[in-house]
Amino acid sequence: MVEFSGEIGSFKAKVHRKARYVDASKCTACGACAEKCPTKVPNEFNFGLNDRKAIYKDYAQGIPSVYTIDPNHCRVFQGKKCGVCAKQCQAGAIDYEQKDSYVDLEVAAVIVATGYDLFDATRIPEYGYGRFPNVISSLEMERLLSAGGPTAGHLARPSVVKGEARLKELPKLIAKAEKDEKTDAASALNKERKWLEEHVHKYPTAKKLGFIQCVGSRDFRFHKYCSNYCCMHSIKEAIIARDHEPETESYIFYMDLRTVGKGFEEYKIRGAKVSGLKYVRGRVAEVLQDEELNPVVYFEDTEQRCVRSMTLDMVILANACSASKGIVTVAELLGIALDENNFVKTHPNKPLDTSVPGIFTCGCAQGPLDIPESVAQASSAAARAAEVVMTGGRALAV
Amino acid sequence: MSNDRFEPTIVGFLCNWCAYAGADLAGVSRLQYPPNLRTIRTLCSATVRPDMILKAFQRGADGVFVGG
Amino acid sequence: MEDTAKSDVRIGVFICDCGSNIAGYLSMKDLVEYAKTLPNVVFVQENLYTCSEGGINGIKAAIPAHGLTRVVVASCTPRTHEPLFQNACEEAGLNPYLFEMANIRDQCSWVHQQVKEKATERAKGQIAMAVAKAARLRELSRIQLGIFYRAVVIGGGVSGMAAAMALGNMGYEVHLVEKEERLGGLLNHLNMVLPAKEPPSRLLDDLRTRLENNPKVTVHTRAQVKKSEGYVGNYQVTINENGNETVVKAGVIIVATGAKVLKPEGLMGYDGEKVITQLELESLLKQGTPSLKNVVMIQCVGSRCAERTYCSRICCMTSVKNAILIREADPSASVTILYRDMQMYGVENEDMFRRSKELGVRYVTYDPERPPEAGDGLVRVYHARMGKEIALPADLVVLATPLVAQDEAQQISTMLKVPLNENGFFLEGHVKLKPLDFATDGVYLCGSARFPSSIREAVSQGLGAASRAAIVLSKEALFTSGIVADINPNTCCGCLGCLEVCPYGAINFFQDRGICQVNKVLCKGCGGCAATCSSGSARLDGFSNDQIYAQIEQALAG
């Protein structure tokens, strides 16, 4: 949205629609274009754990089911000769000339459902995220566990996934260094190659997992609030990991295990009984790494009253739910108030209403929520909007 | 493929809402599997009567898959 | 088996190349030639894209030109493309249920890319199966039904009030049924609510006044729903108000019956005087702050245990709220909360939790294996951090007990044919995707009847349930699907096997005739009844036994 004006019952909005360079009405999402596209790009949807093509779709079930060209990487847009996708596409859907468009909307009500951003765990250097390959975020874990993800659901350690990719490119780099007679560089690369060859396949599957809760949440340095869904998210990931690999052992390091939803407490208990999850009450102070790239966590075991360490195959951080970065601009455009955390401000008695009549909000835009509550709120916001639409825009309280 | 290798025929009853959708997704993801399967779409795996499974075996199926 | 394929069955088969998606991996020529040899097939056509405008027009032209009475398309998946082709048939005057698809892309060419010959064999098999089924298809119809544009909301707590308000504001007639003398439910008994920091009467009075002033809303107090008959769009609900019965014709029903606080008889020395519940503390605080020196609150009394496995969601925030109010009123009063996990989820609760600590509320965890004991003005508890038992002086012990299901939940569940979970709360259609719907169309749920909820959540869910209900009320008419079950009344023996397996409450037993019948409006076509029926009386149209048998035969014919 680039422009916004008006009042309840008669808002005007201008929406900027980016070109996708594929005619959505013709594309059948058959994928022949992506199969033959010569340009590989790190796949952001899988957090760079594999590659996608310059013409792509985030995932198979995405809606609308239409491919998109990434103009920052597509050879045609880089002024190079290509056009492979246009040749492959028998439906004639490729349109390199497509332009951005602007859509003018006249609406009675608006719903802000902009969601959240994952807390950036590099802001907590003591956990080693970004430095240690086998310390990952909760959403990276989600991709590793997904049958449609970069490892087809196999819980491969990121050090292995990345190490294998590096091993593939090393011979070329070594040959180039040798050709340029850079002996130091070549010997360093050779050393790296030897180390990788010896180590990469030593622990291919992550079997001993540590989940660190409240990463950025309930932390005075970052977010004071509780992110609501992370306890259940970690328990779910640990249970699924065990389903994929029966030898998996999971430890969940927590302050309070917040299992407040319907069936959640029961699920937590099942996790311990059936899937062998171990819940450790205590906050992790630091994560280090041993020479085999195993993360080592140091924590206070408050129930045993001692400081302990544990060597794990992989550490999964329960990243906090941060307000989305774009919300400030959206809020300014709409004129709605945000709270101190940059979530859309609401009153407990009027949970869907923003500070502007006719503009409603739902989901993580207004604060961290789990799926059932988000889905319920989405219907609620629709009800509020429907009240406005169906009564010709009269402002009505809850 | 050599001709004397045993090639089973498998009849699959797939629920429209999950297993059939999963089989479609295998296609979208281009996962390759042997072409020995013949799929029958049902609106729920609960539609599959036990005698349908027996019927399939009686007619020579080597395996029956019920996905739901 | 009797071959039901008759001579008037004329099948047209359309085989799609899907560009190179199918044609690149299968031998299309073989498929076309093979299809021509199949029984009843009178016309075969290959298309580059059957779903394109040209392909669709081809189907529409071929139906009259070749007198087709059945159409088979061999292409992608019916999950995305069946409606498109069915419409084409309908536009050409053919009943849309005389159409069948063979999935030779998603489930063939795409998954057998390296074995063209074998993949082509499979595609032939799938086409033969589709043709065999098509020959046995029957014309089916969708029935149109009227709707009563009116809603009944059962339960006048904050959630039910919010639901009634939303529907009333949208312009629908609403009957709000409350068993007590006045609206408001559990909130009537509370002292103050945080973080709004106001007495609950403010919210309730506002809602009450506006509901009473809304001409679309009729409030029934001291009233109960006695009987409900009918189905989505067409309910007849009998309301007993102060002994007078009225029948309301409604299209939808919202269940907002709330929950009640567990009275912890026999637990932790509960006596209602020195050891009380949080709800009883609320009434005490409402009358003015009693002078208290040492208050000990104990969490999870009667919840998260073998008898009641669930966490009741709202008790931690209630205790923290009351601890704050006590400390604010009298900073010399000491408050200690004994807990297992402080369930202060989200932004507002954690904020309140932090504020309580700033105010000096003390927190001690306890192990459910070694629960606290209250008696003689003391609470003894094993302190895990110190590794020893401690004794806390207490002139008042407050127990945080869970919300439990209402007594009438069972009766409403039976009356509306909607399920309860193992704890007696109403069970939604899907835990994540349909939190406010029942599996049965036309009935919705919200608030603590579903699961313990805060005010914020109860209001939100009430509005959400109204939104779900409005989906039905905003329709001009309802249509049944053609793919529904049917029970042959002549052979049904009334064993109730089908009724027990039906997840949608779509089967009725008629005692007078001793038979079961399907309500085609509620039936979702799962066929569970057909598979269960021991007399073979239940049949799922569009997926009948003879059609599936024909597919099995063809699958194994090669």
Distance CA C472, CA C40 (A): 42
Domain that holds residue C69: 11-140
Average pLDDT over every residue of A315-342: 97
Please, what CATH class does the domain formed by A1-17+102-110+324-398 belong to? alpha beta
Amino acid at A2: V
Q: Are residues C271 and C399 in the same domain?
A: yes
Reference C146, options C370, C502, C448, C475; nearest CA is: C475
Q: How far off is chain A from C312, nearest CA to CA, in Å?
A: 7
Residues C214 and C300 in one domain: no
Q: What's phi and psi for C556, nearest 5 deg?
A: -110, 15
Contact check, Cβ <8 Å, C531/B48: yes
**CATH fold of A118-153+206-322:** FAD/NAD(P)-binding domain (3.50.50)
DSSP state of C274: S
Higher pLDDT, A303 or C104: C104
> What pLDDT score was predicted for residue A263?
95
Q: What is the ipTM of this complex?
A: 0.95
Tell me if C554 is assigned to some domain: no
pLDDT tens digits for range C518-531: 999 889 999 999 99
Give the dihedral sign, CA C212/C213/C215/C217: negative
| Residues C226, C303 share a domain | no
Q: Residue C192 corresponds to which tokens in the numbers above? A: 């103050």
Checking if the pLDDT of A397 tops 70, the result is no
Q: Is the CA virtual torsion C134, B37, B61, B45 positive or negative? A: negative
| Residue A103: exposure state from Cβ atoms within 10 A (0-12, 13-18, ≥19) | exposed
Q: Is residue C188 part of a domain?
A: yes
Would you place residue A394 in the very low, low, confident or very high pLDDT band (cuts 50, 70, 90)? Answer: low
What residue segments make up the domains of chain A, in order of their start?
1-17+102-110+324-398, 19-99, 118-153+206-322, 158-199
Contact A258 C468 (CB under 8 A): no
Instruction: Domain count for chain C, please give it.
Output: 4
Which of C353, C379, C403 is where one domain is finished? Answer: C403
* CATH assignment, A19-99: 3.30.70
Q: Classify residue C90: in a domain, yes or no.
A: yes
pLDDT band at C23 (very low <50, low <70, confident <90, very high): very high
Closest in B16, B46, B52 to C552, CB measured = B52
Query: Which residue in chain B has the smallest CA separation from A31?
Result: B28
| pLDDT tens digits, C406-440 | 999 999 999 999 999 999 999 999 999 999 999 99
Residue A382 CA to residue A376 CA, distance in Å, equals 10
Q: Domain check: are C37 and C56 in the same one?
A: yes
Find tokens 């009075």 and name the residue: C205
- For chain A, the first-to-last Cα distance in angstroms comes to 27
Q: Answer whether residue C93 is part of any domain.
A: yes
Give A320's Cβ-side CA count (13 Å radius). Answer: 28
Q: Which amino acid is at A219?
A: D
Tell me how far apart the alpha carbons of residues C532 and C252 are, in angstroms, rounded to a whole number: 30
Residues of B within 8 A of C483 (CB-CB) are 43
Angle in degrees, 0-180, between the axes of helices C28-37 and C116-135, rounded to the nearest 10 = 30
Answer yes or no: do B29 and A61 touch at CB < 8 A: no
Q: Are C212 and C267 in a shared domain?
A: no
pLDDT one-digit tens code per residue, A83-119: 999 999 988 999 999 999 999 999 999 999 999 999 9
The answer to the question of residue C553 being in a domain is no
Q: Which of A214, A52, A26, A27 is nearest to A138 (CA)?
A: A214
Q: Which residues contact C167 (CB under 8 A, 6 or more apart)?
A: C151, C153, C174, C216, C466, C469, C470, C473
C248 and C358 part of one domain: no
Closest CA to A67 of A50, A88, A46, A42: A88
Q: Where are the beta strands (DSSP E) in C266-372?
A: 275-277, 294-298, 334-339, 362-365
**Cβ of C481 under 8 Å from any chain B Cβ?**
no
CATH assignment of the domain containing C413: 3.50.50.60
**Distance (Å) from the C-alpha of residue B47 to the closest C-alpha of chain C?**
5
Contacts of B28 in chain A (CB under 8 A): 29, 31, 60
CATH of residue C535: 3.30.70.20
> Which band of pLDDT confidence, cut at 50, 70 and 90, is reported for residue C6?
low
Sole residue written with tokens 């997992």: A209
Q: How far apart are CA C468 and CA A114, in angstroms?
A: 22
Phi, psi of C381 (to 5 degrees): -150, 145
C464–A377: do the CB atoms touch at under 8 Å?
yes
Which of A69-73, A195-199, C398-402 is least confident?
Answer: A195-199
* Interface check B25 vs A, CB under 8 A: yes
Nearest to C459 among A91, A387, A398 (CB): A398
Segment C135-170, tens digit of pLDDT: 999 999 988 999 999 999 999 999 999 999 999 999
Q: Are residues C398 and C422 in the same domain?
A: no
Interatomic CA distance for residues C42 and A382, integer angstroms: 51
β-sheet bridge partners, residue A103: A15
CA angle C54, C57, C61 (to 5 degrees): 135
Q: Do A379 and C467 touch (CB under 8 A)?
A: yes
Task: Give how far A241 is from chain B: nearest CA, Å.
Answer: 20
* Identity of the residue in C304, C431, C459 whose CB atom sits nearest the CB atom of A349: C459
Given 3-state DSSP classes, what are the helix, strand and coil percentages for chain B, each rounded to the nearest 5? 30, 25, 45
Mean pLDDT rounded to a whole number for chain C: 94
A61·B25 Cβ contact <8 A: yes
Q: How far apart are CA B53 and CA B62, in angstroms?
A: 11
- Cβ-Cβ contacts under 8 Å between A and C: the total is 169
CB nearest C343 (choices: A260, A269, A305): A260
- Examine the domain organization and report whether C372 and C268 are in the same domain: yes
Q: For residue C12, give both structure tokens.
A: 């047209």
Chains in contact with B, where contact requires at least 3 CB pairs less than 8 Å apart: A, C
d(CA C451, CA C411): 18
**Selected residue with higher pLDDT from A183 and C208:** C208
C467 to chain A, minimum CA–CA distance in Å? Answer: 5
pLDDT band at B3 (very low <50, low <70, confident <90, very high): low
Closest chain C residue by Cα to residue B31: C111
Measured from the Cβ of residue C368, the count of other Cβ atoms closer than 10 Å reads 9
pLDDT at B1: 46
Interval A238-258 mean pLDDT? 95
Together in a domain, C299 and C275: yes
Question: Is A60 in contact with B28 (Cβ distance < 8 A)?
Answer: yes
Chain C positions touching A259 (Cβ under 8 A) are 311, 341, 343
The answer to whether B52 contacts C548, with C-beta atoms less than 8 Å apart, is: yes
